[in-house]
Structure 1
Amino acid sequence: MMDIYSLNLTALLALCGGLFHNTRSQQQADSLKKTGEAATQDANDKKSKKNPALPFLVVYTLVMASDWLQGPFLYSLYREEHSVSPALISSLFTTGFLSGAASGTFIGALADRRGRRTACLTFCAVYAASCILTTISGSVVLLFLGRILGGLGTSLLFSVFESWIVTDLKKQGLETELSNTFGLMSTLNSIVAILSGVGSEWLVGAAGTRKAPFWVSAAILVVAGVLIFNTWEENFGETGSKPATAAPKDDDKKQENKLWATLFRPSILSLALASTIFEGSMYLFVFFWAPALQSISSSASSLPYGVIFASFMAATLASSLVFNIITSRGLISFSSLLPTILATSSACFFLSASPRTEQSTFWIFCLFEAAVGMYWPCMGYLKGKLIDDAVRAQVYGVLRIPLNVFVVISLLLTGDSGFGSVFSVCSVLLLGSTVGLWVARKKTQ
């Protein structure tokens, strides 16, 4: 007989299957409305528009898989196989976030000037090195170096890849495909997360060591690097072509002025606030969801964390499919959707601060993960539309600085505080960022 969490996961996967079927049926219905040459021309146009994003989506799937494979076993690898104390593990994680904050000050500028494709290749090398260093026992220095490279790699992962695809689509005249591409990215990311969770569990069981997922991640990054090198074109700041070198000082000054002008626009400031608070709250949720559920668990045995994690990812997948449906039909604007996501997340944290029953809390957490599934493509689209290509990677990198600082300060301040106080603060901050988005929207109308 299936336990309640297995039933929950089954229900969520069934929902995902229903949404997939709905999406496919709608596509087939749309195609039946077109006949003859019009249908053929439309199919050709659609194919030509999708092809430019395909090399990116393949690589994106691989790099996200390399990231997800490590997550479930990073802490246990440190604790169980490296025999690292909990206090030192906390320092290692903090080092990673600090590295991400520090690297955000320069990686964007380098990517815009030296090339986003080059930066993506650098990510593959840096993150693969981080994976290998993380598996080396007996040297605390190497473990810290692994976290430093991991923080740098994370900053690259969440800045230069988006910068590359946005500029590439615009260069191809396919700016209208931004929404569809970011929706696909969110869907693929959710699927990869579910498969990686199962895959990492299998790898550890087969190899008999928690180091196995990290070795496989490094190998995947090598494959991703080869694909980037062979299938991607380079793009830079400005309009996607190599910047002029006749007057480098003038170019630097122009870039700096454009960067600050972009960052201080009300729309960008509101996005920066929203991304810092939402993504920071998401990281804190990762730390505290397990103790929150355990505190009200009715079972004497340990919770099935793997199944619960898979359920969260299934909720994320379902919402990303819903995102594709509502945006393709124009049911809500992106500028209205983002505040709705933040407000929903605020309510989730508020309700979770004082949990009542195990199952109600689980489904509230699933609702938050659903908000996460809609947040990524929505935020990606808005940044793609609002941020100038000339300074795109720089802005993306800078936006991650307050995020990493927020997480580090939060972890240092929470200490032994319970999840209730953390969730309450997150709820208030998310509500504040929701108000900030609405105010910025009114000013720009």
Structure 2
Amino acid sequence: MAVIMSSWTENYGDSSESKDLLTQFKGAATAIASDEKIALLGAIQSLFEGSMYTFVFLWTPALSPNDEDIPHGFIFATFMLASMLGSSIASRLMAHSSPSVESYMQIVFLISSASLTLPIITSILVPPSNVKGGGISFAVCLQVLGFCAFEGCVGIFWPSIMKMRSQYIPEEARSTIMNFFRIPLNIFVCVVLYNVNAFPIAIMFGMCSIFLFVACLLQRRLLVIAEKPKAEERFRNSEEEPLNA
């Protein structure tokens, strides 16, 4: 630190490119309004991240509603392993041109939505226990499997969403545009966490599941828009082939 402070000069960047915060957000709003793909991508990321951040605070009370003695460290490590496996799967998927990122992410959002419905299903099918303490029940084991599936989807999500962002969002405004969508995201997460004790766990997970299903629908719309130019190009090529022949 002493060497850096004494020998390095400050890098102020290109002064001609510096813009105030209001100008940056105006440019981000204009880009979002003019390109549906950017709006869809931002909405998808906000819905998924909102569900993910809510899950971070809900998984512990969901697995131990009656203060059961559960191995929190082991479960968290399993979640991280599932996320790592998801990232490995994403790297293999993105190494091939087919299926496209827009295509397989529909399935990822659908699986993540289904995985967060397990606390709702188990609360309906398995009668709740009023006995404090105890060990891990069968219903909790099912929830852990579902949560691991969700963490695997999280591992696939991050590299995949970054690739789509690099494709559809211009680099010079990428960070501002994504921060534009994080404003309502952070407000939502704060409101949820402030009222986390006001609603049953099943309702909270149901809300997250709905958000992920909406993200799946938006991803489908993004796929249709992304495939439209390719379909038109194939159609033009098919018309030109008889003429060339």
- TM-score normalized by structure 2? 0.73
Q: In 2 relative to 1, CA 352–388 (structure 1 residues): closer, same or farther, beyond 3 Å?
A: same
Matched, 1:367 2:185: no
Matched, 1:319 2:78: no
AA paired with 1:277? L
In the alignment, what sits opposite 1:399? 181
- Aligned-pair identity in percent equals 27
Other structure's SS at 1:376 match: helix
AA paired with 1:271? L
CA distance in 1, matches of 2:178, 2:202: 32
CA distance in 1, matches of 2:21, 2:68: 60
Matched, 1:244 2:11: no
Contact 1:350 / 1:424 at 8 angstroms: preserved in 2? yes
Matches for 1:118-133 after TM superposition, within 5 Å = none
Other structure's SS at 1:416 match: coil
Q: Could you tell me how far 1:338 is from its partner in structure 2? A: 2.4
Q: Which runs of 5+ in 1 are unaligned?
A: 1-221, 237-241
CA distance in 1, matches of 2:164, 2:116: 25
Matches for 1:198-347 after TM superposition, within 5 Å = 242=14, 244=16, 258-264=27-33, 265-295=35-65, 302-347=69-114
Q: Which moved more, 1:256-265 or 1:269-278?
A: 256-265
Contact 2:46 / 2:181 at 8 angstroms: preserved in 1? yes
CA RMSD of aligned residues (A): 3.0
Q: Could you tell me how far 1:235 is from its partner in structure 2? A: 9.8
Contact 1:276 / 1:406 at 8 angstroms: preserved in 2? no
- TM-score normalized by structure 1? 0.42
CA distance in 1, matches of 2:23, 2:175: 15
**Number of residue pairs aligned between Structure 1 and Structure 2:** 206
In the alignment, what sits opposite 1:127? none
Contact 1:315 / 1:367 at 8 angstroms: preserved in 2? yes
Q: Could you tell me how far 1:252 is from its partner in structure 2? A: 8.9
Q: In 2 relative to 1, CA 256–276 (structure 1 residues): closer, same or farther, beyond 3 Å?
A: closer
Matched, 1:441 2:211: no
In the alignment, what sits opposite 2:235? none
CA distance in 2, matches of 1:423, 1:302: 22
CA distance in 2, matches of 1:411, 1:287: 8
Q: Which moved more, 1:308-317 or 1:357-366?
A: 357-366
In the alignment, what sits opposite 1:97? none
CA distance in 1, matches of 2:188, 2:145: 27
CA distance in 2, matches of 1:256, 1:425: 29
Q: Could you tell me how far 1:253 is from its partner in structure 2? A: 9.3
Contact 2:42 / 2:178 at 8 angstroms: preserved in 1? no
Contact 1:275 / 1:403 at 8 angstroms: preserved in 2? no
